[in-house]
Structure 1
């Protein structure tokens, strides 16, 4: 350790703390940091103790379905058929290995994806501020922290501006606590010391410069981490539903097994041993051995696909919940817009009703060159004040192609770029006018203020040593002003003279603000106030300087994504802290609200539109045609009134919303039974993210707190990615239904031979080993192919499914057990009887041969025919399953309307079925083990007919379903059918 245990760091002054750690105000050198990294190791917490791979593997041997097969295998040994017992137990082992491998791969995938967004921290190295991975921190590093940041290591505060820390993770304290750099005289715990920042806590408000003194396992958080066991997560809805399916199928299997045993013992005349063997056959035939690994694979594939489309899934349960999302509450800036803010216009007193356009409205990305702005001196004080009252910074990297790199909030970086474009040398200005004090921005005041050492700079009309600058929302800034700079009596450098701000002047400011907002700009106001040397920084009696209009264009593809949500029956609600008219203009441009009339202002203009809802209460909310509701309006609505508004309005914009209002809105939607997805990026969004059914945090500009509270992180901060995640969530749910249908349908022809044996008194057409050959030999890979189906063309054309809707519902069971399954059973048993008929043996003669075949005393030629008939039966089931595989790709859409080659795994499964059957029949060793024999070529036609019959029958059923849906929905919904929806008759 670098520190002495006798001198705790909390008791040292800032200079002493830096000296004790061998550091300085500008941090460590890169060379020294690398040496310390080798000495102390990476800044990582000890790994949580996890269950061993062996224990995870045994989990696959102990679930409900596995226990059922263990019992079936044991009964086979008791019945004197050890080869059957070993075969059943082998199924358990194969299933366990496959399920374990899929779970292992899924965990590895999630672990790899978690590295997509490594936690970053701003560190002073070699005298410059750099952004590095948090695991590179070493004792002695000096870091910068601001609101929303996780504290990455144990730190000593060096400088603080209105700093408040959330220490709930350590103490459970719900309220943030203040922190400052003053040394302490008494020894306190790290979490209680007012000048220490423990690792794992969060900056709730303000900013700080801090000195790292402990990293990794040496932090207070790290010292208790090794005592923390892995969190036991409650099962997701999907896990509960799959468990319910397993229990249902197990109950069916056990009931049919018991019924078969009793019936064969009492009515067929079998002995107890033979009856037990056939009961085992019934049980095995009803157990879908491939169900659990297929569910695991479907989720794993969905997570990987979503990651490729910039959505990082943090909780697997969210994948299934996405399929039921019915409301998306989304931010505006950076989510619906491109987050490429640039100065578009300025307005100062005396400029007239319309703002002065910047020379370049298009702006630049933070990595590009500053846009060409107004002529130097025209808005010198306005842009200077806006730039100095910000915490962003520009880094100069030389000339072309990208001489400037902006770091910080996009709004503030745009102001800095505009100031540079206006000819201001910001580096020189910062040196000449150093900051003395700061009141950071918060969502309640909507203001930020700084106090500068002005040094009688002539750009303020009167000589002053100290000048405060306030930047923020125009209405809030204007409320703090009692004067403005009168351009009619200009002072030095054109700054103007401060005169009283009367009602006409305030009206002019409001008119300019509204005009800029209607054009879709984000408007900020700047005000100043000279202060006496001893006066504190305060936000009152300010002098209004002017307005700046920043434009953030809508993201490419957002309009299409909004339209896709509306087609899918998903309500999209914009929730923003921006001004109502600005939010309304952007909402119209992206299609969330009706488009504006053409007023000739250009493609980026919101046009001249009626004001949003700024009236009182429910009457105004329900009557407003524009559907823009401000935070003040929301406060005037009771919870019942709010639910009425959101229930009957599908396209809404909530503007000037505080964080607690966003949470209230989410709760109101959930109270109506909606499944809500919420986007957020800040600390204040965490309550709404946690309250939502699916929380979506921003990956690029989101805070660590928001990411931790969310279920999914949008790596690209793009609304279109939300639509993509919903598509994949719906597809996962649909895919699981597809392969459940496919698997259950094959159970019916597997059970049919034993039922026919009881009812018709004929030999069983299949053995238990042959059933297992279908379930794990030919059906498993095709089922996995259905689980890997990409979202289909109809995925977003239907409304969201109802929350809690069962996976294995009545329509699915009817389709599998009473339609697809019986057709396969009839074809399979028909093939069995046709084989005997081919050799001149009718049903009556077959009944006479049954006892000898049952007791293994039949002649060799009869046994040979039985093996051929079993081969035909097995082949028909395999062939029918090939048709069933293609039929199960959609519940209602024709096969001809589906993309043919979008899923290679499906076609691999389709090809694998005849290949696997060919190996069983063609390899002498396998044929003998499974009691199969080559059959006459004349019967191949029956096998070829099976998939055709399955497809034709299913196409006929789908046609009836589509027509019924068309007539039902057409009568209930006016207007033309939506593209790609089941309303289209041709579908």
Structure 2
């Protein structure tokens, strides 16, 4: 069948005949044969930018443009060798950055394999959960509220509301029902067919059974152009700041270079010499590895989080996590283990249910009023726990009753009901839900002897006290009720059904808190992060769980119910949230979640919001970081979220925040590193110009290129892999308005590390000259007696900068604490990078062919001994500087 063809628009019997299937579904062998014939049910992968366009982007970013300018100036002034060398640097740097970017893209794309969409199908006569990519034409799929429709299908039975916005752009859900399988007028478009489900849409309510007709690129979704771009990737604050830094560096480099031209001429240099030295300043100011190192640091953060159980969809989200200062978390499954088990059962007189009649009635409601299936293990964990509770209450597996109508759980009503036949020409409405909601709709109670009595005010008060006591112990409570009704002949209005109920009793479920949560909450508090709990559960239950997790400052946290929150205006809610008081928002609706997130962001907070349901999607999209549950969450929630927890564990969120902070810190360490070594590269040019040539040039442009390309890159990349610094999670969250470059960073880079390195390098250069009897103004050019000494002196400068780089790299590993506290040898990648740059330096100095290209000469043993002390001096000065800061702080 062709996508959008007549197959889906044919009458159902014709569709089944064409597919060669029955409503019972396929066998495993049939499914395997069809999977081989039709291929996986997936769209063709979205093709990113072409290799050529990605390469061009690397060649025209601000830092590359500076090198193009330098190459142009070199060629224009006749220094062809230098121009070619700079062009080679441009090409190599672009290739390296492109490789890192593509590697990061592939790493993020590979994470999608961890979370394939799933579907429930009928295979071999039973229900089976499979990956959506394994769906084939002829499969019979079961669709429930919250499911993403993974293929084009024809409804066999049931009715659902479907969000067609992915296909039509309309946001209002549309009813799709098998009852309309033979309309008077046959539609001509699939989107108008009232008995067709389309891939890429979402079931917002109801449940149905459908037969798959088209899969993969044969679906309507596959036909519509541009559907592979379901999500857009906006640059993160970090990426925007890095771009600004790149332009700032470009402006400084061009400004310094242009200022050098007249300065050099006034100092007595020829115009050609001044131009060459201006080129040197441009090159010295360009941090070639900045962009690839940023990309790699973010990719490392994503990979690290994946190992810990947090799948981040975008590289940029890692950095945003680091500035999170408020976490709004669910309770069940996130703070707790989501392994509900029956704690106790109670009758409608607030006593333990021991009478068979009461226990059987409770078991009937729990076993029939559900969307879960205990045999296959498919369903909400709480629903499965209630089915196991029903089995324990009645001693037998709950029978499957035929339903006349189903009223799905409504988060506002906090109820679910079904209508089942009750014999004798009557039906029975079975209702379960939050105790308060069921109590409000009950008028009588089932007594222990099986008879019915009135629900008196005294009995209601006694029940409320018992419920409050149990909820205060952190138990989850579910009330059960029923009522006889005459056969409706159709599905009556919900409000007419869920009233005048007979209260049967209630069950208490226990869900122990996760072992790692109390420590995680303590770490969050130490990091200055406020934790709010937003749950649909009872306030006392939620407060007990929150208190055991450490939320609320050691005592019982402040509780605000959904009805109370409705009475809060925005100003009062904002004042509550800004007070830093940790709140349990109980009996909350999805709209409450969205309102809380909006109010927090309006106050300047960076919000992480957890969710798992369909209705959580708006809040997940609104939050700075939407966190969906990988195990218990719906496809819709996972699609709306920025991060998915494969273990549904709150502790993973804290690990994600730590990883985000670490990534941001490592980017700043790299920037500190490259800013610091620019100073000793620039100072030799300034001394030459300011002295009017009396002090010869201590470094050549080719040597600068060798430093930036050959010795700088690997240590810089290793800094991007640095482990979290001690005390990282003891700092307050950084403001989203804080720039990546701060005044304190510049003081440390230029005034401490850079200045120390420049002094050492200049003294090393002059020391070699002085040892040979050189005086300012003496000729050192080719043919002069001091020429070989001069070449050895420039080699001393070149090697001195590399030696100072080693000290700077070690110093940059920490922001405040001493390097001795984390251990100088703990970053093995950095040690490997240092070993590599020392090897490259040795080759540049002692290999004859390299000497010819770079103008280097072998150094004496005494000079090597002096160089060996440079890293320790640079690191030592920085250690003293940070010691002073720690004492002042």
Please point out which of 776, 779, 794 is paired with 1:846. 776
Cα distance in 2 for residues equivalent to 1:231 and 1:646: 31
The range that moved more, 680-689 or 29-38, is: 29-38
**Residue in 2 aligned with 1:217?**
217
> 1:30 — aligned with what?
28
Matches within 5 A, 1:856-935: 857-859=782-784, 861-935=785-859
Cα distance in 1, alignment partners of residues 851 and 3 from structure 2: 76
Cα distance in 1 for residues equivalent to 2:856 and 2:512: 69
Moved more, 418-427 or 289-298: 418-427
Query: 1:517·1:582 contact (CA, 8 Å) conserved in 2?
Result: yes
1:956 maps to which residue?
A: 880
Aligned twin of 2:529: 570
Separation (CA, whole Å) in 2 of partners of 1:169 and 1:899:
53
Tell me if the contact between 2:626 and 2:641 (Cα under 8 Å) persists in the aligned partners: yes
Give the superposition deviation at 1:940: 2.3
Deviation at 1:232, TM superposition (A): 6.6
Task: Map 1:270-669 to 2 at 5 A.
Answer: 270-352=269-351, 355=352, 379-395=359-375, 406-422=377-393, 424-426=395-397, 429-430=399-400, 433-455=401-423, 465-487=426-448, 490=449, 496-534=450-488, 538-595=497-554, 626-669=557-600
Assess if the C-alpha contact under 8 Å between 1:442 and 1:448 holds in 2. yes
For the 8 Å contact 1:338–1:555, the answer to whether it is kept is: yes
Deviation, 1:36, is 2.2
Residues 329 and 574 of structure 1 are in contact (CA less than 8 Å); yes or no, is this contact kept in structure 2?
yes
Structure 2 contact 325–606 (Cα < 8 Å) conserved: yes
C-alpha distance after superposition, 1:495-526 (max 9, x if no partner): x1112111112112212211211111110000
Greater CA drift, 170-179 or 566-575 = 170-179
How many Å separate the matches in 2 of 1:45 and 1:703?
Answer: 21
Q: Distance in 1 between matches of 2:756 and 2:124?
A: 76
Give the Å deviation of 1:341. Answer: 0.8
- C-alpha distance 594-260 of structure 1, shift in aligned 2 (>3 A): closer
TM-score, scaled to structure 2? 0.96
SS at match of 2:800: helix
Is the Cα contact below 8 Å between 2:325 and 2:529 reproduced in 1?
Answer: yes
Report what 1:196 is aligned to. Answer: 196
| Alignment correspondent of 1:974 | none
* CA distance 1:901–1:682, shift in 2 (3 Å): farther
SS in 1 for 2:410: coil
Structure 1, residues 374-398: CA drift from partner, whole Å, max 9, x if none?
Answer: 8977722212321221111122xxx
Q: 1:87 Cα shift? A: 1.0
Residue 901 (structure 1) shift: 4.7
**For residue 821 of structure 1, what is the aligned residue in structure 2?**
754
Query: Unpaired runs of 5+ in structure 1?
Result: 357-373, 396-404, 457-463, 491-495, 597-608, 610-625, 966-987
Partner Cα separation in structure 2 for residue 4 and residue 48 of structure 1: 21
Identify the match of residue 731 of structure 1 among 659, 662, 669: 662
2:629–2:646: 8 Å Cα contact kept in structure 1? yes
Query: Which secondary structure does the structure 2 equivalent of 1:471 belong to?
Result: strand
In structure 1, C-alpha distance between the alignment counterparts of 2:349 and 2:324, rounded to whole Å: 50
Q: Structure 1 890/4 Cα, relative in aligned 2: closer, same or farther at 3 Å?
A: closer
CA distance in 2, matches of 1:349, 1:236: 55
1:539 and 1:165 map into 2 onto residues whose CA distance is: 25
Conserved in 1, the CA contact under 8 Å of 2:233 and 2:314? no
Describe the SS at the equivalent of 1:526. strand
CA distance in 2: counterparts of 1:193 and 1:98, whole angstroms: 52
Is 2:757–2:804's contact at 8 Å kept on the other side of the alignment? yes
Shift of 1:858: 3.7
TM-score by length of 1: 0.86
- Specify the SS of the correspondent of 2:367: helix
Specify the alignment match of 1:359 in structure 2. none
**Residues 1:74 and 2:5 aligned together:** no
For the residue of structure 2 that corresponds to 1:394, the secondary structure is coil
**Cα 1:229/1:151, change in 2 over 3 Å:** closer
- Kindly indicate whether the alpha-carbon contact (under 8 Å) linking 2:132 and 2:150 is maintained by their aligned counterparts in 1: yes
Tell me what 1:122 maps to.
120
| Contact 2:527–2:733 (Cα < 8 Å) also in 1 | yes
Q: Distance in 1 between matches of 2:288 and 2:580?
A: 47
- Cα separation, partners in 2 of 1:185 and 1:790, compared to 1, 3 Å: farther
- Deviation string, structure 1 residues 919-976 (Cα, Å, up to 9, x no partner): 21121111221111112212223212211211221111111111111xxxxxxxxxxx
Superposed CA offset, 1:470-494 (max 9, x none): 011111111111111122xx2xxxx
- 1:393 partner SS: coil
Aligned twin of 2:616 = 685
What do the CA deviations read for 1:7-37 (whole angstroms, capped 9, x no partner)? Answer: x644625x55434432222211222222222
Q: Please give the root-mean-square deviation of Cα atoms over the aligned residues, in Å.
A: 2.0
**Residue deviations 1:858-886 (CA, integer Å, cap 9, x gap):** 42x42211111111111221111111111
Counterpart Cα distance in 1 of 2:502 and 2:227: 58
Distance 1:785 1:513 in 2: 58
> Corresponding residue for 2:154?
156
Are the counterparts in 1 of residues 45 and 228 from structure 2 also a CA contact under 8 Å?
no
| Match of residue 723 from structure 2 | 790
Question: Relative to structure 2, which stretch is displaced further, 312-321 or 743-752?
Answer: 312-321
Checking the alignment, whether the CA contact within 8 Å between 1:876 and 1:942 is kept in structure 2 is: no
Segments of structure 2 that go 5 or more residues without pairing to the other structure are none
**Secondary structure at the counterpart of residue 292 of structure 1:** helix
Q: Distance in 1 between matches of 2:367 and 2:571?
A: 45
Paired position in structure 2 for 1:185: 184
Task: State the partner residue of 2:765.
Answer: 832
Residue pair 1:343, 1:550 contacting (<8 A) in 2 also:
yes
Deviations 1:586-614 (CA, angstroms, capped at 9, x unpaired): 01111103556xxxxxxxxxxxx7xxxxx
Distance 1:758 1:913, change over 3 A: same
CA distance in 1, matches of 2:777, 2:639: 68
Task: Quote the Cα distance in structure 1 between the aligned partners of 2:196 and 2:441.
Answer: 35
Correspondence 1:37-116 to 2 at 5 A: 37-116=35-114
Counterpart Cα distance in 2 of 1:230 and 1:673: 29
Residues 180-237 of structure 1, C-alpha deviation per residue, up to 9 Å, x if partnerless?
1122222332222222111111111121111211111221111113687797744332
Closer/same/farther in 2, CA of residues 868 and 669 from structure 1, 3 Å limit:
same
Residue 351 of structure 1 and its aligned partner are, at CA, apart by 4.7
Measured in 1, the distance between the counterparts of 2:606 and 2:790 equals 56
Corresponding residue for residue 170 of structure 2 = 173
Distance in 1, Cα, partners of 2:673 & 2:8: 66
Q: Is the contact between residue 50 and residue 230 of structure 1 (CA under 8 Å) also seen in structure 2?
A: no
Shift of 1:141: 1.2
Listed as ranges, the matches of 1:721-800 within 5 Å are 721-760=652-691, 761-800=694-733
Equivalent residues, number: 879
Tell which deviates more after alignment, 533-542 or 822-831: 533-542
Contact residue 282 and residue 754 of structure 1 kept, 8 A: yes
Report if the CA contact (8 A) 2:359-2:394 is conserved: no
Q: CA deviation at 1:283?
A: 0.7
Which range is displaced more, 566-575 or 526-535?
Answer: 526-535
1:696 aligns with one of 627, 632, 642: 627
Deviation at 1:720, TM superposition (A): 0.4
3-state SS of 1:451 partner = strand
